[in-house]
Every structure is written in C-alpha cells, then in structure tokens.
Structure 1
Amino acid sequence: MRVYRVIAGVTGVVGVLGAVLSHVGAAEADRTFASASGVAQSLISVGVPFIGAVAAARREQSVYRLAIGYAVGLAAVGLIASILVAWLVPSTASDRWEHAPVLIIGAFVTQVVAQLTGTGLGMLIGRGWIAAAATIVLPLGLYGVLSATAPGARPWLTPYGSAQPWWNGEYGGSDVLPNVVMFALWGLALNLAGLYVARSRRP
C-alpha cells in the first residue's frame, strides 16, 4: 500500500502547488476558482491513473474500491486547495466563484475516468509501471493526433478532451453524448478488455 500513498502524496502536492502558483501568477482580474481548479485537476489527472495501473497490474483485492477511493480523495484535495486559494488571494474578477457547481462535480467525474483508464491499462498490460506510462502516452498521444487531424473528435475519443468543459466550467447539454461515448471507450470497454486479458493470464 505504501506505493499508492507515495503516488497519491506526490500527485496531491503537485496539484496544490499548481493551483497556488497559477493563481498567484495570474492577473488579479483572472483569479477565479475556475482558473485555480482547472490547473489543479489537470495536474492531478496525470498522477491519479498511476495508482489504478499499478493496483490492477498487481491484481490487488477490491482494486476498483481502492483506485476510485484515491481518485475521489485527490479530486477533493484539489478542490479544497482551489477554494482556499480563490478565497484568500486578492482578486478583482467580477465573480470568482462562477461555475462552482460544475467545477466541483467535474473534478470527481474526470478523476474517476482518469483512474478507470489506469485500471483498464493495468489489467490489459499486466506490468504496473509500463501501464502507468501508457496512461500518459496513449490518451495524450491520441489527443495530439486528433488536434492535428480532427479537433472536433477530441471530446468524443479522449479523456483529456472530454474533461475540458468540466474544468473550465462550461459543461452543458451538448457535452453529454461525447462524454458518454468517451466513457464507453476508456472507462467501460478498456476495463472489460483488461478483465478478459487478466483472466486469460491466470494459470
């Protein structure tokens, strides 16, 4: 369990520092809860799936309970840090708390999706740290390819693309279907494939 605590600790610290530094470094008119939270959750989403990848590759008992617990906890850490930063650092923004409900819900949704990407790849690949690296290379690699070829497909096909409306507080009805498709691919199909492959490896 120590490795998961280490990953979670580093991830949480990076997310909190990101929220603080981005907020303090921004112009006073741009200092909002959304700007701090977006940076924090984006950074946290990089480290969160490492936990799921390693846990799934090790075939931990109750892997989803463990992984999603860390995802929810780290999303909360990022939110609390962002709330404190937005509250304590002076700002001239007209409404520093704009879109707060969407930002709060989106933090938990996107970190759980990130974690499920980790568990799916962990079971599929079977080697924890290789799977952890793949949680960065594969989703962001696809995001980069689509950015150059089909930008409109990013919310449908990549976790990072679908997270943007949540993190900037602009999530609306038109984002629901792309999110469902993305979750079906990275959350459901990837984990079902991983479970099948993991079971086939058992003696």
Structure 2
Amino acid sequence: MKRAGTDGSGFGAATLDGVRRGVGTAPRRWLIAVTLLVGVLAAMGLTAAVPPDELTFAALAEPVQALMSVAVPFLGTLLAHDLRRQPGTVRLGPTVLAATLLAAAVGLIGVVACAAALTLAPDGVAPGAWRHAGTIVAGSVLVQVVAQLVGIGLGLLLGSFVVAALASIVLPLGLYGLLGAADSLRPARAWLTPYATLQNLLSGETDAVHWAQWVVVLLIWGFGLIAVGAARLRRRPATAAVPAPSSVSWESRH
C-alpha cells in the first residue's frame, strides 16, 4: 500500500501536511508571529509618520510588505530543510505549494494591516488614497510568494539555516546594489532583482512590462533556484539523506 502523500493522489494531503509543518514547531510559529507583528507595527508607525496629503494605500503597502519579505524566506528555508532531512517522505511539489500558501497568507495579512491603518488614520488621507488597491493587493501576495520561493531554493542549496537565511538577504539586495552602481546597468534591476519588482508591483502603477519583469524574477529567483537545489539534492548519495547536525541544529535548539 502506498503511503498518503507519496503518490499523485495524495498531493492535497501532502500539501496540507506541508502547511502543518510550516507552523508545526515553536521557532516556525515565532517566526511567522514576528513577521506579522513587524508588518502591523510598520503600518501603524507609517500612518503616524507620513503626512496626511501623502498617505495612500500604496505608500503603506510598499514599505510594510518589504519589511515582511525580509523574514518570509526564513520559513521557506526551514521547509526546504525538511526535504533535506526526509527526501523519501517529504515531497518537493506539495512543500512548495504549502510554502506558497503560507506566503500568500502573510501578504494578505499585511494588506489587512495597511487597510486598517489607513482607515483609522487620525488626520485623514490623501485624495485617491485607495487608487489601484486591487493591483496592490495582488502585488503584495506575489511579492511574498517570490520571497518564500527564494528561501526554499537557498534552503535546498545550502545545508546551514543561518547561511541560507543570510543569503536570502545578501544575494538579492547585493545584486540590486551592484546593478545600481552604473546608469547603464540600472534598467536590469527590474528584470533581475526581487526588490525592484516589489517596488513596481506595489506602486499601483503596474503595467504589462512590470508583470513580465515579475515573471522573469520568479523564474530566476524562485523556480530557477529551486530547480538547481532539487537537482543537487537528487545527486546526493543515499548515505547523505540525513544532513549533518549543523544543518538542523538551529531549529532543534529552539
């Protein structure tokens, strides 16, 4: 008899198991809670700091979602390490889908925090404050999905949680800074870096080119990293199925 979650018919059950694993330990629950708290506090703080004539949904969404996206990849890295520890039991596809659902939930909660803060702004808001709200909501979800997939890809590639978590910050932002060093390279940011697509999607002024740029970034930083990481994982000898203690020690100590 095939175990649920190891064949195609068990994809939904395996995805649900992935969601449970995403919130199944104290470090993972704390990570999600802190990420959401950062978003709520940022929305409240910006409402008080931004002048009323500049206070819009877009003005809140971009910095709030950017801050939350810093920690979102960490959860993806932890889920990827489940694959490294249990390659015969935990499946890549359901894990990626579960991580995507969790990232989407984080993005939507960030949207709710921004909407609540804007609605309750004590000194009023700018004219047209809710302009392009639908596009910004969609962009918020997609931004967090890319961030999560980056974490999964780096988690598959790198055995250490700490190294993968740092890489999820340093590599995308480092490339963004590098491409900004010369005027001739700056246009490539929007096609090659997650932060540039975040700015475009959450500005509200999103056009077909911006959506195409997000797709390219998704293919490179999301599915590209995951494909390379999965290939590397498949090439590991059977005796390497369980990683060295250093790759799991962070979560086991908390």
Which of 54, 58, 65 is the equivalent residue of 1:30?
54
- Partner of residue 14 from structure 1, selected from 17, 29, 38: 38
Distance in 2, Cα, partners of 1:174 & 1:129: 35
Distance 1:120 1:92, change over 3 A: closer
Aligned to 2:102: 70
**Corresponding residue of 1:130:** 163
Compare 131-140 and 92-101 and name the one that shifted more: 92-101
TM-score normalized by structure 1? 0.95
Partner of 1:101: 134
Q: Which residue number in structure 1 is paired with residue 176 of structure 2?
A: 143
Query: Does structure 2 conserve the Cα–Cα contact (< 8 Å) formed by 1:30 and 1:91?
Result: no
Contact 2:60 2:114 in 1 (8 A): yes
Compare the two structures and name the one with the higher helix fraction.
1
What root-mean-square deviation, in Å, do the aligned CA atoms of Structure 1 and Structure 2 show?
Answer: 1.4
Give the aligned residue type for 2:54.
D
Please tell me whether the aligned partners of residues 48 and 70 of structure 1 are also in contact (alpha carbons under 8 angstroms).
no
How many residues are matched? 203
What residue identity is the alignment partner of 2:100? I
2:67 paired residue among 16, 28, 43: 43
Q: Which moved more, 1:82-91 or 1:65-74?
A: 65-74
Question: Secondary structure in 1 aligned to 2:181?
Answer: helix
Aligned identity (percent) is 36
Deviation at residue 58 of structure 1 after TM alignment: 3.0
Runs of 4+ displaced beyond 4 Å:
none
Query: What is the CA deviation profile of residues 131-162 of structure 1, one whole-angstrom value per residue up to 9, with x for unaligned ones?
Result: 11110010011111011131111110011111
- Measure, in 1, the Cα distance between the counterparts of 2:43 and 2:158: 33
Q: Deviations over 1:55-93 (max 9, x none)?
A: 102327342233222201111110000000111103241
